[in-house]
Amino acid sequence: MRVIDSHTGGEPTRVIIEGGPDLGCGSLAERRTLFAEKFDHYRTMSVCEPRCSDATVGALLCEPVDPTCSAGVIFFNTADYLGMCGHGAIGLLVTLAYLGKVGVGKHRIETPVGIVTAELLSANTVRVENVESYRYRRNVKVNIPESGEVTGDVAWGGNWFFLVDGAPLPLTVENIPELTYASNKVRRALLESGVTGKDGAEIDHIEFFEKPAEGCADSRNFVLCPGGAYDRSPCGTGTSAKLACLAADGKLAPGQSWVQKSIVGSRFKTSYRVGEAGGVIPSITGEAYICGEAQLVFQTDDPFRLGIS
């Protein structure tokens, strides 16, 4: 299996460019279902330990159904499959540019949850226009054992998020272990309380926010991803969900800039336009860098050939 590794704002993406499963030529949603049901070992082999880490998002490069698209992609991580991935889309386009498959300009990328537009601004800078995002529920209260009540919004940004303004402790690198523990407690409480996204979808991302002390960003966040790792980047789908909530509250106008800063200090520059269904179409600009190119080897007598999952 041939892969290209990149990071977007510190968050890694591993693109499978050769040696992935043959998923046929159905829609990306159908191919994602087939991937999960018949070929899930390709996911665990490529992004789980011992070959990778919990922070990595995988991206299977696919032929698109829509001929106007430059590529199709199925995103996944160590726990499951993703609808969309903002940092991953930025990393994918930089990877395609590195391979000489795309040049500067706008490109349509087909995902299981719809087509997104990604514009290559330079070799390392990409602006992604995400799927339409929206707030599903406002001011949802859940009781956290040993911590008390937490209030947050449920929103869709390509994945389901529970967004909490006011972190349980300062959003600093030193507090990452405690923030991870607190986020996991919130996620468990949502499951136990039956709080879900639309149509009973599991809320698998937890996001804390605070106002940064310095004036170089509008917000700083901490995002817990489904695999249990925190997002090193500001999280593209999480920032999309945040923009949807800001717009719903009348706190951010269409076209107005919003700078989201991650727990490690990387930034996404964002804005939005109004979507056809009443949500928002987020625009997210970030930087990705190629950091590796590898041929993964799977020896038949390796007891962890399929990964540790």
pLDDT in tens, 82-111: 989 999 999 999 999 999 999 999 999 999
Statement: residue 148 has pLDDT above 90: no
Statement to judge: residues 68 and 177 lie in one domain: no
Burial classification of residue 186, based on how many CB atoms lie within 10 Å of its CB (0-12 exposed, 13-18 middle, 19 or more buried): buried
- pLDDT confidence of residue 228: 87
**pLDDT band, very low/low/confident/very high, at 73 (cuts 50, 70, 90):** very high
Residue 300 resides in a domain: no
Statement to judge: residues 141 and 267 lie in one domain: yes
- Taking 3-state DSSP, the helix, strand and coil percentages for the chain, each rounded to the nearest 5, stand at 20, 40, 40
- pLDDT confidence of residue 147: 79
| Nearest C-alpha neighbor of 220 from the set 230, 234, 232, 206 | 234
Statement to judge: residues 155 and 28 lie in one domain: no
Residue 241 maps to which CATH number?
Answer: 3.10.310.10
Residue 19 resides in a domain: yes
Statement to judge: residues 149 and 185 lie in one domain: yes
Domain range enclosing 211: 134-274
Q: Exactly one of 48, 52, 225, 235 is catalytic; name it.
A: 235
Statement to judge: residues 93 and 12 lie in one domain: yes
Concerning whether 62 is annotated as a catalytic residue, the answer is no
Residue 140 resides in a domain: yes
- pLDDT confidence of residue 269: 98
Can you list the positions of beta strands (E) in 78-171?
81-82, 105-111, 114-120, 125-129, 134-144, 148-156, 160-165
Residue 86 resides in a domain: yes
Q: Exactly one of 48, 62, 69, 85 is catalytic; name it.
A: 85
**pLDDT band, very low/low/confident/very high, at 61 (cuts 50, 70, 90):** very high
Statement: residue 297 has pLDDT above 80: yes
What's the pTM? 0.93
Calculate mean pLDDT across residues 76-84: 92
Residue 306 resides in a domain: no
Residue 199 resides in a domain: yes
Residue 172 resides in a domain: yes
**Structural domain count of the chain:** 2
DSSP state of 79: S
Angle at 177 between CA 174 and CA 181, to 5 degrees: 140
Statement to judge: residues 143 and 220 lie in one domain: yes
Statement to judge: residues 147 and 263 lie in one domain: yes
Residue 302 resides in a domain: no
d(CA 301, CA 305): 8
What is the average pLDDT value for the chain, to the nearest integer? Answer: 95
Statement to judge: residues 242 and 191 lie in one domain: yes
Concerning whether 225 is annotated as a catalytic residue, the answer is no
| Nearest C-alpha neighbor of 167 from the set 217, 206, 225, 193 | 206
